[in-house]
Amino acid sequence: MHIVLIEPEIPGNTGNIARLCAATGFTLHLVKPLGFSVEDKYLKRAGLDYWNLVSIEYHDNFQAVLDKYPNNNFYFFSSKAPQSHCDVSYTEDDFLVFGKETAGIPETILSEHWDTCVRIPMREEARCLNLSNAVAVASYEALRQLDFYSLKIVGQEAI
């Protein structure tokens, strides 16, 4: 599976997400411009001993991701979306797409892909989840649906 971050701004969030990708085997796609240097000490600290396990691709814009992977499913996470992320049937090659911390996914992208926009249920009074928390919730729901296809449980065979 794949995680796409469109113009992430906070190095600690991206570091946490990179660590999640290392633990799950997901590929991380970072769409420029980034709000930090990939050499940033906060980014490195969040996933310091995991960077060698992370597969990262950098893209100049989101259209470049779509162009490179035209046959994959993309799910766009937004608090504005009408359907729950749990109502989707994920596959092993899907892309989970998230926007930057201060603005989310651009409206133009959401409107072009409205039928595959999903939300993580939460109280109406809450604006949104922290980006790295949202990515974790979404990733593990997808993995759960796929019987944790890529992971081992300590002391057991791969599930």
Is 90 exceeded by the pLDDT of residue 152? Answer: no
Asked whether 119 and 16 are in contact (CB, 8 A), the reply is no
Q: How confident is the model at residue 153 (pLDDT cuts 50, 70, 90)?
A: low
What is the structure's pLDDT at 32? 97
**In contact, 137 and 86? CB cutoff 8 Å:** no
Q: Of 122, 118, 108, 111, whose CA–CA distance to 73 is shortest?
A: 118
pLDDT > 90? residue 30? yes
What single DSSP character describes residue 158? B
Say if residue 46's pLDDT is above 70: no
Cα–Cα distance, 71 to 144 (Å, whole number):
23
Tens-place pLDDT, residues 56-78: 999 999 999 999 999 999 999 99
Domains and CATH numbers, the chain: 2-145 (3.40.1280.10)
Would you say the pTM of this structure is higher than 0.75? yes
Instruction: Give 79's Cβ-side CA count (13 Å radius).
Output: 16
Task: Determine the Cα–Cα distance for residues 49 and 47; give it in Å rounded to an integer.
Answer: 6
Question: Quick one: pLDDT band at residue 151, thresholds 50, 70, 90?
Answer: confident
Predicted local distance difference test score (pLDDT) of residue 129: 92
More confident residue, 127 or 15: 15
120 has binding-site annotation: yes
Q: Is 73 left (phi over 0), alpha (psi -120 to 50) or beta?
A: beta
Q: What is the pLDDT of residues 111-128, one digit of tens each?
A: 999 999 999 999 988 878
| Residue 36 confidence (pLDDT) | 82
For residue 99, say whether it is annotated as part of any ligand binding site. Answer: yes
Sheet of 2-6: strand order equals 55-59, 27-31, 2-6, 95-98, 74-77, 117-119, 83-84
